[in-house]
Chains A and B, each alone.
Chain A
Amino acid sequence: MSNLRILVATKRVVDYAVKIRVNAAGSAVETANVKHSMNPFDEIGTEQAIQIKEALAKAKTGTAEVIVVSCGPAKSQETLRTALAMGADRAIHVESDVELQPLAVAKLLKAVVEKEKPDMVILGKQAIDDDSNQTGQMLAGLLSWPQATFASKVELGDKSMTVTREVDGGVETIKTPLPAILTTDLRLNVPRYASLPNIMKAKKKPLEKIVASSLGVDIKPRLETLKIAEPAKRQGGKLVESVDDLVDKLKNEAKVL
């Protein structure tokens, strides 16, 4: 009878559908009064943990506890509430108002891992705001744990997991012992939409707040953003008169045919 403890790391990011703008100072993307939501890859991670829990319960071969954690300012709790509404059991908010870069997040998560002792940590492969693709890998390095990144399929075994990874040019299947780090790829699963009754239930689930500085971890940023700029504007288009004209332009002017 296996009793798994799964830690899922999530991040509150600018919503994927928002048309982002560079702020007036040209120093960062404008985030004030902009819609935020859970990083899509983290939604997939949360869904995976809940599916593991449900599979164990259905097969009556064990139980799983899904703990979701997020590092960031007070509003990160909205993301945690979403995860609780999806089916996570409890949440941990590591509160910090200073900028947290992947290395800092990895160090904070290491402190949480040492406290909670999970059997696996699931992270999204990257956040859609900074596209670092580093936190999972750094956490594995700091913990000296094995890692299976870009997972598109996960099967749990006895104190091990078999993961199919999406790599350039195809897929690769690896097996690692637990505890281990998993980062999610787009094709791993379809995250559920939390229903209103579940959102109400989630309000009663435990949410623990830890102040980042109390974990005794150096979270100073190491990277400095020098410049942010919007991409170059597209050149003007041209109306065509006929299909022949279109084919002619694609062939001779754009040279794509």
Chain B
Amino acid sequence: MSTPTRYRVIALYKQLSYLGREYPAGADYFHKKLKGAFMKNKDLTDPTEIQKRIDLGDYVCKEIEAMYHINKYRAMKKRYYEDAEVENIQAKLESTNWATGSSSGATSSSAHRK
């Protein structure tokens, strides 16, 4: 592997490692997978093949960033932007005492269904 490519691969590894710290399934799990993926390809010599792997790594970086953003966006949307119909139903479900079969929620329902 030529030096510029070597540098790019190491930079890619570091970037993925940095992104993986916040991985939902666990930083350790991510690091294991990351190391495994790079070790599997460590003996490649064909520049085209190496470039393909680097491109895949860049793609994975973008996918992880997108996932982090979507998770955060969805959480913010859920917390700060109410869907009155959904909230009404959720409130009713949570206040129902299933054992006796009575609904203790006194809110009147927005009974229309779209």
A4 part of interface (Cβ distance < 8 Å) = no
Q: Is the CB of B80 within 8 A of A193?
A: no
B97 part of interface (Cβ distance < 8 Å) = yes
Residues in chain B near residue A249, CB distance under 8 A: 98, 101
We find that the number of chain B residues with CB closer than 8 angstroms to chain A is: 30
A234 to B18, CA, bound (A): 37
Knowing A255-B92, A256-B92, say if A235 contacts B109 (CB, 8 Å): no
Residues in chain B near residue A238, CB distance under 8 A: 98-99
A190 to B109, CA, bound (A): 36
Q: Is the CB of A17 within 8 A of B75?
A: yes
We find that the number of chain A residues with CB closer than 8 angstroms to chain B is: 24
A216 part of interface (Cβ distance < 8 Å) = no
A56 to chain B minimum Cβ distance, whole angstroms, is: 25
Q: Which residue of B lies closest to A193 (CB)?
A: B65
A114 part of interface (Cβ distance < 8 Å) = no
Which listed residue (B79, B93, B99) contacts A256, Cβ 8 A? Answer: B93
Q: Could you pull out 22 A-B pairs where Cβ atoms are within 8 angstroms?
A: A16-B75, A16-B76, A17-B72, A40-B76, A128-B76, A186-B77, A186-B80, A191-B69, A193-B65, A195-B15, A196-B11, A196-B18, A199-B18, A249-B98, A252-B101, A253-B101, A253-B102, A254-B93, A255-B103, A255-B109, A256-B93, A256-B109
Chain A to chain B: the 6 pairs with minimum beta-carbon distance, closest first: A238-B98, A254-B96, A193-B65, A253-B101, A256-B89, A255-B103
Given A186-B76, A253-B96, 11 extra CB contacts under 8 A: A16-B72, A17-B71, A40-B72, A128-B79, A190-B69, A193-B19, A196-B14, A234-B94, A235-B98, A249-B98, A249-B101
